[in-house]
A and B are shown apart, each in its own frame.
Chain A
């Protein structure tokens, strides 16, 4: 029964990882950009929620109403002012610029909030749980998982059923021809980053409620998100959710064997899948 519990907890944890990954997947899909600062932006969201909590006395879940648009704005500005200048054939500039951004963010947070671990207090909901037969399931993890499913379904719908999604796909296919259709690439990229960081805001707040975080916590989150994307298969959003779940289950089972193996087990499962299925478990079938 312990093992079943571990698998269940891991599955729910996978929802959080899918939220880490969805934003990463989105901007890669639209503009082939890999944002090394993605994890630090997740942590930044948690700190913004913390500040809203302190200054306005908001529950972090309510603060989301402010954190999501704030992060979206930051994303749009970041893309238009800095990242758009690096977009092109050469992979090095965006990589190194987002890497520099990552270091800057970590140290700005260090200056503003010190290295002490922080926590977001969401109240009674944090400890609430329901019993399913022999298993106890936390309300919060279930909420996170459901949010992840809803976010991915919404992104999927946006991508394939809306004008914005059409514009994203067209720009991803052929940037210059999309420009001929009257789509301003710089603006489209800005919107993609805004959307990515809006999802990041959800991920950051849920992370902050679940565990303590500090300014250096971003790197691991980037890695978890990245592993979920690769396990699931590049460009497949539902695959990303599956990838998050596989990673989460690997970690909780690893932790069950020995607490020291939690993270390591996740990495090892990732490397095994990379060795056996380099395109991920559910690669997108390209036309």
Chain B
């Protein structure tokens, strides 16, 4: 616990009167890939948005490298080295592909990622670099969204449903690129509905059910029956 880089302690989240998260505890160790799985509406996206600062919280609910960041704004969280690949990609339509990537790095944090390295990872983006981001296919847009987050040279990247709505061949392509991304000592939290995919790339897994953590374990050893129970609550 002491060496955790990120820890959530009794994290709650509300949308008006609706409570989406109930006292979620979660830890992420440096260099680790943590998968978060759960059914629709379990609170996975809400949890990532809370960490990224899009939903405000009590300061002590989220601890990052010793800082209490629960109450910080998203731009302050970004400056501390946390990047989010949001669900639905959410590129900037009036920016070109390259501008979308450049703006990801506009805080100027030092690190291995540059425009060139993103283009090496996803060569198709270099061909399309001057196009409007909205003219790309869904898979290419997802590459831009991932590249945009990497351009920030974050210490932690949060990926929300990066395979959602994409063709299987594209999903495979993106997941094949993933080891090259997290191999740099980057820490990652991956939210995914595809349980097999999530387990294959992660070391540890959490399952959320109706806003509560229903399971925590090692991705390779956790029994499938436990996952089924934690996922569907049967």
Quick check: do A and B touch in the complex, using CB within 8 A? Answer: yes
Task: Assess whether A179 is in contact with B74, with CB atoms less than 8 Å apart.
Answer: yes
Binds B, one of A48-56, A71-79, A164-172: A164-172
Binds B, one of A36-44, A181-189, A256-264: A181-189
Q: A180-B78, A182-B78 are in contact. Are A169 and B90 (CB under 8 A)?
A: no
Count of B residues near A, CB < 8 Å? Answer: 27
Contact partner of B54 (CB less than 8 A), chosen from A167, A169, A176, A184, is A176
**Interface flag for B92 (CB, 8 Å):** yes
**Interface flag for B195 (CB, 8 Å):** no
**Interface flag for B52 (CB, 8 Å):** yes
Interface of chain B, helix or strand or loop or mixed? mixed
Tell me the minimal C-beta distance from A228 to chain B in angstroms: 22
Q: How far is the CA of A49 from the CA of B210 in the complex (A)?
A: 62
Q: Restricting to A264-287, which residues have a CB under 8 Å from any CB of B?
A: 287
User: Please, which residues of chain B bring their CB within 8 A of the CB of A179?
Assistant: 53-54, 73-75, 78
**Interface flag for A173 (CB, 8 Å):** yes
Tell me the minimal C-beta distance from B91 to chain A in angstroms: 8
Task: Assess whether A182 is in contact with B135, with CB atoms less than 8 Å apart.
Answer: no
**Interface flag for B86 (CB, 8 Å):** yes
Binds A, one of B24-32, B97-105, B166-174: B97-105
Chain B: which residue is nearest A163 at the CB level?
Answer: B106
Q: A163-B106, A180-B83 are in contact. Are A174 and B90 (CB under 8 A)?
A: yes
Task: Assess whether A166 is in contact with B54, with CB atoms less than 8 Å apart.
Answer: no
8 new A-B contacts, CB < 8 A, other than A167-B103, A169-B94, A182-B78, are: A166-B102, A166-B103, A174-B92, A177-B92, A178-B103, A179-B53, A185-B75, A287-B94
A interface residues (Cβ-Cβ under 8 A, vs B): 163, 166-167, 169-170, 172-174, 176-185, 287
B interface residues (Cβ-Cβ under 8 A, vs A): 52-54, 73-75, 78-79, 83-84, 86, 90, 92-95, 99, 102-104, 106-107, 132, 134-135, 148, 152
Give the 4 A-B residue pairs with the shortest CB-CB distance, closest first. A179-B74, A182-B78, A182-B107, A173-B92
